[in-house]
């Protein structure tokens, strides 16, 4: 038992030192978490464990491949002008501001849905939409607020949600369960937030929007075909798997990528998109591998087992509430990567509440970890700041109103409901 | 069908490993190179079916 405390203490010390040294450089955090996975057992006299560090990453390899292929598709659709065409169409339609905001949030969120990462939306459709809204006369803060909300909701909406995948797959170490059956629960957590935010804030956010002075980009509705095929195949993958051949997400995205290379509003080199695609999901995918390494080290040094023994008789509600609260506070105060580091341990603790209860609770814990990425007190990699940094013009820091957190709050509340009320029937 | 998907799985893993390798060599900052390297190792091991 002493070794367990020693390893945990060493991991906390190395992470805390890294937190102080790399406060503004969160890109180094995956490497730091891997360093923690190597250093903590070594400093606790449990040996040097490179094998566990390498093996741990395989728990997340398949879903990381989903994300990376999604990144390739998103980069191509961004570069070939499909997203620009879609967002322009959405903004130019004669709709009420509420419906327009809902449509805008949905299309901004598409890269997040396909990759499970808000950064993929923030770097592509988020910045694109913010620029378009600014050109139509919206203040920078409102443009960033809409783009950030769309990026966040895209991450939560199905089929993929990287933080939820991190938690769900982390419960069994390298014997990873699949991330299947979470389409409807993710939809139940994300869609009401999109609708409520659109209805309540549509007029306030888009009320003063004017017309774009720039010419609309060329393109026809045909460019939507790759995206439409991907959507149909994803729906079939999730709901018609009894009748259709099982197509794996990367294969679906590969089909979309090949179609997008042929049918596009403007010609681009698909190889450029293929090389730049992984950049949009680089940090979450690397963090996932790093958390997997740390998770495996905790498993094979007995830390996880010892903690499970300690908490075996703890009430299952506390085994959900306390780790989730710790993840939220840590991610919110120190930054997202620190929450992800704790996620190397949290799934097992939450799973300790009983396997039957855990799938939706783990998904909810992941969504709450995602919600912590919306704002951060000390960390830098928040969704609004990622969009703000990519926008041209004013360099001063951006203050968003509390109302901008409405979708995040709704998502958190719904996640808690899904986790605490037995809603297993949502898992198809 | 399963065999075809397995071949595709290895092809996609290999493609992603190759992309990660090129990105390591092209990376303009150490943090990006490190993150691509973290992705590259398991992708390569899976492509070669070592793990």
Preferred mutation among B4, B9, B31 to probe A, highest tally of A CBs within 10 A: B31
Length of chain B in terms of residues written? 51
pLDDT-derived band at A107, boundaries 50, 70, 90: very high
Which of A100-114, A126-140, A302-316, A392-406 has the least mean pLDDT? A392-406
- Is pLDDT at A13 greater than 70 in this prediction? yes
The pLDDT tens digits for A127-153 are 999 999 999 999 988 999 999 999 999
Q: Which residue has the higher pLDDT, A341 or A114?
A: A114
Q: Average model confidence (pLDDT) for chain A?
A: 87
Contact between residue A317 and residue A364 where contact means Cβ atoms under 8 Å apart: no
How far apart CA A125 and CA A83 sit, in angstroms, is 7
**Chain B residues whose C-beta sits inside 8 Å of any chain A C-beta:** 1, 5, 8-9, 12-13, 15-16, 19-20, 22-23, 26, 29-32, 34-36, 38-39, 41-43, 45-46, 51
Sort out which chain A residues have CB atoms less than 8 A from B20's CB and list them.
278
The pLDDT tens digits for A338-384 are 788 888 888 888 877 566 667 889 999 999 988 887 765 554 557 88
CB contact under 8 A, B46 and A58: yes
How far apart CA B11 and CA A382 sit, in angstroms, is 34
How far apart CA A232 and CA A280 sit, in angstroms, is 24
A194 preceded by a cis bond (ω within 30 of 0): no
> Which of A347, A349, A365 lies closest to A171, judged by CA?
A347
**How confident is the model over A99-106, as a mean pLDDT?**
96
- Is pLDDT at A20 greater than 80 in this prediction? no
- What local confidence, expressed as pLDDT, does residue A265 receive? 85
3-class SS at A223?
helix
- What local confidence, expressed as pLDDT, does residue A379 receive? 47
Distances (CA, A) of A73 to A112, A257, A272, A416: 12, 5, 12, 32
Q: pTM here?
A: 0.93
Q: Which DSSP category does A354 fall into?
A: -
**Hey, CA dihedral for A161, A123, A280, A373, is it positive or negative?**
negative
- Is pLDDT at A124 greater than 80 in this prediction? yes
pLDDT-derived band at A428, boundaries 50, 70, 90: confident
Contact between residue A127 and residue A387 where contact means Cβ atoms under 8 Å apart: yes
Q: How far is it between the farthest Cα atoms of chain A?
A: 68
Q: Looking at CA atoms only, how far is residue A177 from chain B in angstroms?
A: 17
Q: What are phi and psi of A318, to 5 degrees?
A: -70, -35
How far apart CA A279 and CA B23 sit, in angstroms, is 9
Preferred mutation among A57, A63, A76, A277 to probe B, highest tally of B CBs within 10 A: A57
| Percent of chain A predicted with pLDDT > 70 | 93
How far apart CA A55 and CA A293 sit, in angstroms, is 7
- Is pLDDT at A301 greater than 80 in this prediction? yes
Nearest residue in chain A measured CA to CA from B34: A31
- Is pLDDT at A204 greater than 80 in this prediction? yes
**How confident is the model over A250-257, as a mean pLDDT?**
94
CB contact under 8 A, B35 and A61: no
Q: Which of A154-163, A310-319, A358-367 has the highest mean pLDDT?
A: A154-163
First to last CA, chain A: 40
CB contact under 8 A, B31 and A54: no
Q: Which residues of A378-395 are buried (b: 16+ CB within 10 A; e: fewer)?
A: ebebbbbbbbbebbeeee
pLDDT-derived band at A112, boundaries 50, 70, 90: very high
Which of A88-92, A123-127, A215-219, A408-412 has the least mean pLDDT? A215-219
- What local confidence, expressed as pLDDT, does residue A159 receive? 93
Nearest residue in chain A measured CA to CA from B37: A286
Indicate if ipTM > 0.90. yes
For residue A215, the tally of other CB atoms under 10 A from its CB is 6
How far apart CA A109 and CA A120 sit, in angstroms, is 9
CB contact under 8 A, B43 and A30: no
CB contact under 8 A, B51 and A58: yes
- What local confidence, expressed as pLDDT, does residue A173 receive? 59
If you search the block for the tokens 């190889």, which residue do you land on?
Answer: A271
**How confident is the model over A316-332, as a mean pLDDT?**
87
CB contact under 8 A, A54 and B9: no
Q: Looking at CA atoms only, how far is residue B35 from chain A in angstroms?
A: 6
The pLDDT tens digits for A399-416 are 788 888 889 999 999 999
- What local confidence, expressed as pLDDT, does residue A201 receive? 93
**How confident is the model over A302-315, as a mean pLDDT?**
86
Q: Which DSSP category does A247 fall into?
A: -
How far apart CA A169 and CA A347 sit, in angstroms, is 8
**CA angle at residue A389 from A253 to A92, to 5 degrees?**
65
Q: Where are the domains of chain A?
A: 2-426
- Is pLDDT at A177 greater than 80 in this prediction? no
Sort out which chain A residues have CB atoms less than 8 A from B35's CB and list them.
27, 30-31, 282-283, 286
Q: State the helix-helix crossing angle for A406-420 and A316-334, rounded to 10 degrees.
A: 160
- From A57, A254, A275, residue closest to B42, measured CB to CB: A57
Nearest residue in chain B measured CA to CA from A291: B38
- Is pLDDT at A424 greater than 80 in this prediction? no
**CA angle at residue A250 from A176 to A365, to 5 degrees?**
45
For residue A338, the tally of other CB atoms under 10 A from its CB is 27
Query: Got the DSSP string for chain B?
Result: -HHHHHHHHHHHHHHHHHHHHHHHHH-SSHHHHHHHHHHHHHHHHHHTT--
Contact between residue A104 and residue A118 where contact means Cβ atoms under 8 Å apart: no
Q: Looking at CA atoms only, how far is residue B34 from chain A in angstroms?
A: 7
**How confident is the model over A73-102, as a mean pLDDT?**
93
Query: Got the DSSP string for A293-306?
Result: HHHHHHHHTTHHHH
**Alpha-helix residue ranges (DSSP H) falling in A335-357:** 336-342, 346-351
Range 56-75 of A in CB contact (< 8 A) with B: 57-58, 61, 64-65, 68-69, 72
- What local confidence, expressed as pLDDT, does residue A16 receive? 83
């Amino acid at each position: 038992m002493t070794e367990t405390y020693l390893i945990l203490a060493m991991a906390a010390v190395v992470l805390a030192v890294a937190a102080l040294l790399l406060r503004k450089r969160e890109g180094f955090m995956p490497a730091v978490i891997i360093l923690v996975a190597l250093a903590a057992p070594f400093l606790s006299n449990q040996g040097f464990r490179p094998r566990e560090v390498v093996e741990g990453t395989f728990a997340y390899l398949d879903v990381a491949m989903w994300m990376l292929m999604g990144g390739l598709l998103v980069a191509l659709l961004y570069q070939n002008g499909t997203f620009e065409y879609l967002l322009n169409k959405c903004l130019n339609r004669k709709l009420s501001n509420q419906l327009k905001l809902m449509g805008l949030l949905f299309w901004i969120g598409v890269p997040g849905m396909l990759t499970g990462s808000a950064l993929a939306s923030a770097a592509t459709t988020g910045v694109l939409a913010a620029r378009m809204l600014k050109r139509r006369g919206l203040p920078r803060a409102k443009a960033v607020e809409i783009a950030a909300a769309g990026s966040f909701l895209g991450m939560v909406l199905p089929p993929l949600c990287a933080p939820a995948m991190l938690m769900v797959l982390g419960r069994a170490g390298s014997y990873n369960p699949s991330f299947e059956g979470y389409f409807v629960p993710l939809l139940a957590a994300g869609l009401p937030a999109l609708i409520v935010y659109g209805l309540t804030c549509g007029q306030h956010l888009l009320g003063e929007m004017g017309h774009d002075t720039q010419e609309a980009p060329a393109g026809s509705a045909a460019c939507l075909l790759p995206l439409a095929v991907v959507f149909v195949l994803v729906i079939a993958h999730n709901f018609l798997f009894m009748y259709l051949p099982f197509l794996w997400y990367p294969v679906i995205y590969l089909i979309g990528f090949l179609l997008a290379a042929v049918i596009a509003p403007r010609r681009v080199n698909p190889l450029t998109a293929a090389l730049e695609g992984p950049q949009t999901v680089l940090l979450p995918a690397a963090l996932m591998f790093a958390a997997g390494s740390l998770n495996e080290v905790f498993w094979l040094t007995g830390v996880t087992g010892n903690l499970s023994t300690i908490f075996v008789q703890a009430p299952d509600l506390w085994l959900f509430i306390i780790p989730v609260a710790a993840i939220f506070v840590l991610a919110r105060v120190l930054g997202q990567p620190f929450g992800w580091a704790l996620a190397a341990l949290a799934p097992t603790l939450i799973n300790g509440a009983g396997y039957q209860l855990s799938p939706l609770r783990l998904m909810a814990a992941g969504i709450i970890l995602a919600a912590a990425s919306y704002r951060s007190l000390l960390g830098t990699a928040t969704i609004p700041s990622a969009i703000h940094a990519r926008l041209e013009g004013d360099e001063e820091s951006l203050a968003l109103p509390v109302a901008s957190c409405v979708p995040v709050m709704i998502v958190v509340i719904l996640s808690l409901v899904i986790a605490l009320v037995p809603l297993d029937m949502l898992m198809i | 069908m399963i065999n075809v998907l397995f071949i595709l799985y290895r092809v996609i893993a290999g493609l992603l490993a190759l992309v990660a390798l090129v990105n390591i060599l092209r990376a303009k900052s150490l943090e990006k190179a490190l993150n691509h390297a973290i992705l590259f190792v398991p992708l390569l091991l899976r492509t070669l079916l070592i793990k």
